[in-house]
Structure 1
């Protein structure tokens, strides 16, 4: 009877898994897309930033106003207070193509933007 090494069996299992598409999850294999937004004079710039679909996103929001703002998005389930002159980083899961609303909760009537995922 021929002995089979553990290393050979492990390599065979790994090769089979990769051939069947069971590699590392896509979101772990890819670098996150970085999107920067600036808040100034109670307006987001850009008001409609873009990001790639199906990839994790790192959203960096800088508040150039002297007063605090509250970045909020109901769809992202995020509420972050940003002090005047400060910034926050928000990590988002991979998203499907679409247009996702965000706003400054302290000035919702005038401060709104949309993350466009394509």
Structure 2
């Protein structure tokens, strides 16, 4: 019993920095709704780890996709999910909804010191 408790305490101690690091990560929210991506220009920090939180507020499934970023995330109606980005170089990246071809947006990675 004592060994199990010690092992749990050690795991908690080792994982604590990871949890704190995840909490410090910027979260950028995106809404997808039946053929619309909001905002149309998604500003994110360049060269910084961040979380893109995507919510499907529509009545049909959506798929957040970017060929340039090599990322995709399908979401059922009414669901929310996230994509973690380690870092991005400054620049603009096209994103779209693979289920609604008219839905397009631009993800813009800006250097934190540049305004």
Consecutive unaligned residues in structure 1, runs of 5 or more: 1-27
Distance of 1:41 and 1:70 partners within structure 2: 11
Consecutive unaligned residues in structure 2, runs of 5 or more: 1-20, 111-115
Q: How many residues get paired?
A: 89
Distance of 1:92 and 1:73 partners within structure 2: 13
**Contact preservation (8 Å) 2:63, 2:72:** yes
TM-score, length-normalised on structure 2?
Answer: 0.71
Distance of 1:106 and 1:68 partners within structure 2: 7
Match of 1:113 in 2: 105
Partner secondary structure for residue 79 of structure 1: strand
Q: Which runs of 4+ in 1 moved over 3 A?
A: none
TM-score, length-normalised on structure 1?
Answer: 0.69
Distance of 1:74 and 1:115 partners within structure 2: 12
Higher strand share: 2
Superposed CA RMSD in Å reads 1.7
Larger Rg: 1
